[in-house]
Amino acid sequence: MGTENKTGEVWRTRTVTGTEKIVLVVADHGAMAYVIHLAEEGTHTDIEVNCEGLRYGSSDRMYYVPSRSFEEYLRTVTEDQLADVKNKLAAAIGIEPQIVEKEVVREVPVEIPSNIAPAEPQKCCAAEVQELMIRAERAEALLEEYRELYKNVIEKI
């Protein structure tokens, strides 16, 4: 078996006696992984995982499995599901659950002054473009006029 991290993955394992079990990897430590057995039914079940049907695990039944026992990858649980499982495990052994802060993205309303935001932006933009074109033509005409005046002044000197 490779050395990739299996945390949050559901695997089919085989014990040394040949018993096949489906487990959720809670923490991968290389040669050994901390797991929860997922059974089709059970008692004191506080963990549910959908894998080959709904399976149940219990936070009071955690154990280590050697990495050589992992036979078949089945699926990966979501980050939220894994965080929930870890919080239940922590509570089971009397540790305060971790509070994970999530980044909150908030949209801030942008206020546009009423004299800038017209009711019909298409018409406004077209009108602005037309006005700018007229100004550019006037500026070019003035530039040409000033060039002629400059030439005349230079010739007289």
The CATH code of the domain that includes 24 is 2.30.30.110
**Residue 124 belongs to what domain range?**
118-157
Q: What is the Cα–Cα distance from 3 to 6, expressed in whole angstroms?
A: 9
Q: Of 26 and 111, which is predicted with more confidence?
A: 26
For residue 105, the one-letter residue type is: V
How many angstroms separate the Cα of 64 from the Cα of each of 5, 110, 140?
15, 55, 82
pLDDT in the model for residue 118: 53
Cα 33 versus chain centre, distance: 26
Number of folded domains in the chain? 2
Burial of 72 (0-12, 13-18, 19+ CB in 10 A): exposed
Task: Looking at the structure, tell me whether residues 16 and 88 fall in a common domain.
Answer: yes
Q: What is the Cα–Cα distance from 75 to 19, expressed in whole angstroms?
A: 20
Task: Looking at the structure, tell me whether residues 147 and 76 fall in a common domain.
Answer: no
For residue range 48-90, list pLDDT tens digits in order. Answer: 887 778 888 887 788 889 989 999 999 898 888 888 888 888 8
pLDDT in the model for residue 1: 46
Which of 77, 92, 107 is at the close of a domain?
92
For residue range 96-139, list pLDDT tens digits in order. Answer: 765 656 666 666 666 665 565 555 556 667 778 888 888 888 88
105 in any annotated domain: no
Task: Looking at the structure, tell me whether residues 57 and 123 fall in a common domain.
Answer: no
57 Cβ contact partners less than 8 Å away, ≥ 6 residues apart = 24, 36, 37, 38, 39, 42, 45, 46, 47, 48, 49, 85
99 in any annotated domain: no
Task: Looking at the structure, tell me whether residues 142 and 88 fall in a common domain.
Answer: no
